[in-house]
Structure 1
């Protein structure tokens, strides 16, 4: 549905036309609003946003991702600046709401208005998670040539507005499951997913009692004044409403979530044409031209070590069965579905990421820095001769995240190791292929404290949602980025001596996070110059 290109040739009068009895141009306009949806994959100068976390490094030096990984970010240079894009989306919505009633298709107009408002709520969330409180412009039609001098609304006002919009439209958009023709539109499930994520972020430590503002004005836009546990309860209730609706479920096979255009787990995705661009951008470098990749993403040893064994136990735990001499044997199956490691089958041969191997030749070329390549999102090419076009639709919301959000919010609100949290984690680990074990806990420790459960949930979220632009924001909202993103990132040095492999964990590069400034993005200098009523975030 979202495949419509920009409406460069359509004038306002043509789109909102009282003689357009089928609403043809108006519907194209609605579809074009979806172009402002979050679109992940290699969007930061050819890199995943996760290459600015402890989960990956970029294989190519000197790209714009360095502004995020080395603390070079500033108000004039931000490779993830989303201010203009999202306000452009908001303006499109407001123009539709102001003009659409003249189009003579009364049966369609309520749906278009509702989905446009839902999209606007999501655009505001994308702004708030980056900048904190931003100007709420209501239904005003902003003139991009002469912008109005709106002030920043408080963080609380922005959260309340997003939630109120979701509540207002969730019964007006189409219900799930959507037809193939409507797939990719804002449905009732999508609206609840927006509400759930918004409330989860609002309840999180960065905003809920962890305000990093310095001046009184900054404190208002960078979080709540004081902690309130009830915020976790609201997030849990929103997640539970989506779960009990029964419209979504975990896919039986993990990788199918990312290569099937329509499935029961993805709630909303940015729909793209079928391509092989993810494979050519991220695939291993040592294949013939027909199957060669550019290897842009190097997963870190930090992430690889975080995956447990297939019995659910951490590799550092006694009895896990981990062997340093065979580090990828009997691991959580999600590891092989997330990372390509030495010996993995790919394009009809085992991957060679040992020193001097075909996929780590150590020549003057872009190659993995860690001995790992990205596997997640790529098609099933273990036994294929070359890449072919696949469905590569970036998952904005999926059901597994909702389960993890429910577990997190319930644990934070209700206390020590709630049964709700155990239920969600076990469901995700079961789908992953981890063994249930004699206690049916899928490797989870029994009777966890609230703190232990918190760490278990955070780990599960990191593993399950790797490379989906979650870790980057999770570390911020949990207020752990100053530890997690101020660290040495590692890889594996593999030596092949007459067919005998030895493995050595090695440092690759450091990552830097400047606290507290980098918990929020700076308001763009261009916006401050145009609007003197805007205040800057602390530290910028």
Structure 2
């Protein structure tokens, strides 16, 4: 860890030391070639770490843990209460070119990767395989960043290192051109990578294949998505974590299920966003909270949906007899949770007062109380796993093995319809949390199984940043984006009361008032317009580079 720490700091310093204009952090107009002197293999190694990310938020990384935690706020499954944090406009549909919320339009990592590629060939290495592996890692990082921007914006400039700012003012490449570049980079680089990571957080073949798999899945290239999923399975390195909750705890960071995660280290590069997730009464901000729409998505533990006859769903006790992943993923009214001192408390967001005292976690008690009445359990439970929630060592997951299995299932179903292989992959994920096998009679057609796979993917990865992409790639039966259906309307919370008796079943402590007024339940109105499939290029970037054409609708 000490060696990794020095590499991160020195790699970031090497990048920052090359700043020659105010254009450093925004590209393509800022892609000015640095004058860094490259001499040794050690120089190259340090700079590669700089490509992964710096030691603070001012040096963007190839992925950001905070972004992964916030991303579901741009969907129906999570809510961001504070517009200045960047995700409220994406969630409620108020985004414009000047009110775009968070921006994914950033070439700083790509610029670092280009600098590495421009200089690496002249550096002698004792072992040529090490050099090939480093080059491949950087090419994968660069391809990943292009994939992310291409997905959100639908075509961005493919840049070089330029000698002047004016020269760097280049137009957007098409979405197809960027896709072709990304796919070529990933396919060519993968064989040169190590089969296993040289250290936690480093890219190896599994990560490159996972990026290619997800990119193919998102664009409906089912054959490639299935092929890359199978290649990851065939590596034999990954498996499902037996304990689902362990995946999101510090103790589970070396789980065989984790293919790639963003690395954070206390006192070196900590993650402060964890503090923002906790509720008011525990010193947090409730910046990122689950929604009732997520709760409604979980099946009953029998495998029936809550809407099906005979499911046993009780509207006054909606947390009872549900898929175990609900309790593993969400802190719901009435559940037990572990506080920072290790004590067990009852989570109550429904009562204004508890034993005559004001309840700081009541939904409207404060700005930083959860407006949905829910809080994430993923990464938060137990609270005492962190020495400091505002400087944590949580490492949000980018790719995990369950995604490989469900990607294979989705791709194979779209290619050929239901098969033994599809059911087997889904059952592995469901059985891990003691959910029953798929009912092959009920889900025996491509269409019915498609709906199950979508639901399974939604609840399995809730809060992990995949939901928005799924909603804009999936279509309803009339050909519209699924996002138009599920992200339009009034976002609501439930009202009720919590029995604080510790001896009661936690799933039965909360009693929901099904007759609560629409005014009490309302959080906000939301809308999703078809052109929101692509985000607007920030107007500030277009002001600096007039050759950037804006996306339709903005």
Compute the TM-score of the two structures, normalised by the length of structure 1.
Answer: 0.83
Instruction: Identify the residue that residue 375 of structure 2 maps to in structure 1.
Output: 373
User: Given the alignment of the two structures, is residue 17 of structure 1 paired with residue 38 of structure 2, yes or no?
Assistant: yes
Instruction: Identify the residue that residue 475 of structure 1 maps to in structure 2.
Output: 471
Q: Kindly tell me: are residues 310 and 277 of structure 1, through their superposed partners in 2, closer, same or farther at Cα, counting changes over 3 Å?
A: farther
User: Given the alignment of the two structures, is residue 515 of structure 1 paired with residue 529 of structure 2, yes or no?
Assistant: yes
Q: Kindly tell me: are residues 433 and 444 of structure 1, through their superposed partners in 2, closer, same or farther at Cα, counting changes over 3 Å?
A: farther
Kept in 2, the 8 Å contact 1:53–1:69? The answer is yes
Q: Secondary structure at the match of 2:421?
A: helix
Q: Kindly tell me: are residues 378 and 443 of structure 1, through their superposed partners in 2, closer, same or farther at Cα, counting changes over 3 Å?
A: farther
User: Given the alignment of the two structures, is residue 427 of structure 1 paired with residue 437 of structure 2, yes or no?
Assistant: no
Instruction: Identify the residue that residue 165 of structure 1 maps to in structure 2.
Output: 185
User: Given the alignment of the two structures, is residue 491 of structure 1 paired with residue 493 of structure 2, yes or no?
Assistant: yes
Bigger mean CA deviation after superposition, 111-120 or 487-496? 487-496
- Consecutive unaligned residues of structure 2, counting only runs of 5 or more, are 19-32, 54-60, 475-480, 502-508
Summarize the alignment of residues 108-257 of structure 1 with structure 2, pairs less than 5 Å apart: 108-137=130-159, 140-143=160-163, 145-176=165-196, 178-179=197-198, 182-203=199-220, 231-257=221-247
Q: Kindly tell me: are residues 114 and 103 of structure 1, through their superposed partners in 2, closer, same or farther at Cα, counting changes over 3 Å?
A: same
Question: Which one of the candidate residues 49, 56, 71 is aligned to 1:31?
Answer: 49
Deviation at 1:319, TM superposition (A): 2.7
Bigger mean CA deviation after superposition, 70-79 or 381-390? 381-390
Deviation track 1:303-347 (CA, whole Å, cap 9, x = no partner) reads 111111222221222232323343222221111111101221122
Cα distance between partner residues in 2 of 1:268 and 1:326: 37
- Consecutive unaligned residues of structure 1, counting only runs of 5 or more, are 204-230
User: Given the alignment of the two structures, is residue 322 of structure 1 paired with residue 309 of structure 2, yes or no?
Assistant: no
Deviation at 1:141, TM superposition (A): 1.1
Bigger mean CA deviation after superposition, 390-399 or 25-34? 390-399
Question: Which one of the candidate residues 258, 261, 270 is aligned to 2:253?
Answer: 261
Cα distance between partner residues in 2 of 1:192 and 1:455: 26
Q: Secondary structure at the match of 1:91?
A: helix
Q: Kindly tell me: are residues 511 and 480 of structure 1, through their superposed partners in 2, closer, same or farther at Cα, counting changes over 3 Å?
A: farther
CA RMSD of aligned residues (A): 2.9
Question: Which one of the candidate residues 393, 408, 414 is aligned to 1:406?
Answer: 408
Deviation at 1:411, TM superposition (A): 1.1
Deviation track 1:337-362 (CA, whole Å, cap 9, x = no partner) reads 11101221122221122221435344
Cα distance between partner residues in 2 of 1:531 and 1:284: 41
Deviation at 1:130, TM superposition (A): 0.6
Q: Kindly tell me: are residues 252 and 497 of structure 1, through their superposed partners in 2, closer, same or farther at Cα, counting changes over 3 Å?
A: closer
Summarize the alignment of residues 299-448 of structure 1 with structure 2, pairs less than 5 Å apart: 299-346=290-337, 347=339, 348-356=344-352, 357=354, 358-361=359-362, 362-381=364-383, 391-415=393-417, 417-434=418-435, 436=436, 441-442=437-438, 446-448=442-444
Deviation track 1:158-193 (CA, whole Å, cap 9, x = no partner) reads 2222111111111101112x35xx221111111111
Cα distance between partner residues in 2 of 1:469 and 1:384: 22
Count of matched residue positions in the alignment of Structure 1 and Structure 2? 490
Question: Deviation above 6 Å: which 4+ runs of structure 1?
Answer: 382-389, 497-500
Cα distance between partner residues in 2 of 1:483 and 1:337: 27
Deviation at 1:481, TM superposition (A): 1.1
Q: Secondary structure at the match of 2:219?
A: helix
Kept in 2, the 8 Å contact 1:7–1:29? The answer is no
User: Given the alignment of the two structures, is residue 98 of structure 1 paired with residue 118 of structure 2, yes or no?
Assistant: yes
User: Given the alignment of the two structures, is residue 82 of structure 1 paired with residue 100 of structure 2, yes or no?
Assistant: no
Compute the TM-score of the two structures, normalised by the length of structure 2.
Answer: 0.81
Cα distance between partner residues in 1 of 2:375 and 2:214: 30
Q: Secondary structure at the match of 1:309?
A: coil
